[in-house]
Amino acid sequence: MKVLLIDINKCNGCYNCQIACKDEHVGNDWSPIAKPQPDTGHFWMKVTDIVQGSVPKVRVRYMHDICQHCDDAPCIKACKSNAVYKREDGIVIIDPNKCTGNRNCVDACPYKTIYFNFDLNIAQKCTMCAHLLDEGWKEPRCVDACPTGALRFGEEEELKELIADAEILFPEYGARPRVYYKGLPNKYFVAGSVYDPDDDEVLEGATITLTNQQTGATSTIVTDLFGDFWFERQEPGVYQLKMEIDGYIPLIINDIEVTKDINVGDFELRKGR
């Protein structure tokens, strides 16, 4: 059974995967696996820029949306024409010859990764390049084109260790995806800095404590040589931030709402006990 692993931490955002898919499927007819993809507008492997934070604490993560090739695929159940099927290797295919264009699968997919081809009146999506795998290729085009190793494809057994700490997208849907993720943008950074306005200096070595006001969970880090702190991958919630360094009056900020990555700003600490 095949799996795809998408490690967002390793993605440099080159979009090769999105483009390789188009290179393979636009203008090429791979029936019975897939008919040609329209010239533009379909993204069977879709990359989305997620810009996080605010100046000067900003990062970009590149989300990848692709058919999850679910083991309990809503699209298979929703199709009234029996056009959607699962192969022995786990890949879910919409048979372009059986599809009648009723779009039930498009509506049923909770991951919104099925597209409709108005010219051909069929639903279309990622095939994992099954037409190539069937000829001996070991990877779909998107994986072959990936320069960073952010995309890995193979037998579940072979990639077992790599996917052990990976996540699936929206487990609550119960669709049992065959696509795994690392670094999903579902936890957030809380970043900022501290400085001494009187000396006009950053404060390196300050102890910063971030406490989730609901759960009480606490993390502590020390500011770097720019006086910066970055708490990585925090759960959404309401937080307290405590900033301390010897010789300065501690500063506490309450009720920081973390619903996305956040640059809480540059904080002045004043000398005192």
Instruction: Kindly tell me which of 73 and 267 has the beta carbon lying closer to other proteins.
Output: 267
Q: What minimum distance in Å lies between the beta carbon of 18 and other proteins?
A: 8
User: Which amino acid does the sequence have at 26?
Assistant: V
Do 124 and 106 contact (CB within 8 A), yes or no? no
Q: What minimum distance in Å lies between the beta carbon of 37 and other proteins?
A: 11
| CA dist., res. 264 & res. 239, Å (int) | 11
Q: What minimum distance in Å lies between the beta carbon of 246 and other proteins?
A: 19
Instruction: Kindly tell me which of 95 and 144 has the beta carbon lying closer to other proteins.
Output: 144
| CA dist., res. 126 & res. 181, Å (int) | 17
Instruction: Kindly tell me which of 41 and 174 has the beta carbon lying closer to other proteins.
Output: 41
Interaction site with other proteins (CB under 8 A):
10-16, 18-20, 22-24, 26-28, 39-41, 43, 47-49, 51, 53-60, 132, 135-139, 141, 144-145, 147-148, 195, 200-202, 204, 225-228
Q: What minimum distance in Å lies between the beta carbon of 86 and other proteins?
A: 23
Instruction: Kindly tell me which of 149 and 171 has the beta carbon lying closer to other proteins.
Output: 149
Instruction: Kindly tell me which of 60 and 217 has the beta carbon lying closer to other proteins.
Output: 60
Q: What minimum distance in Å lies between the beta carbon of 249 and other proteins?
A: 19
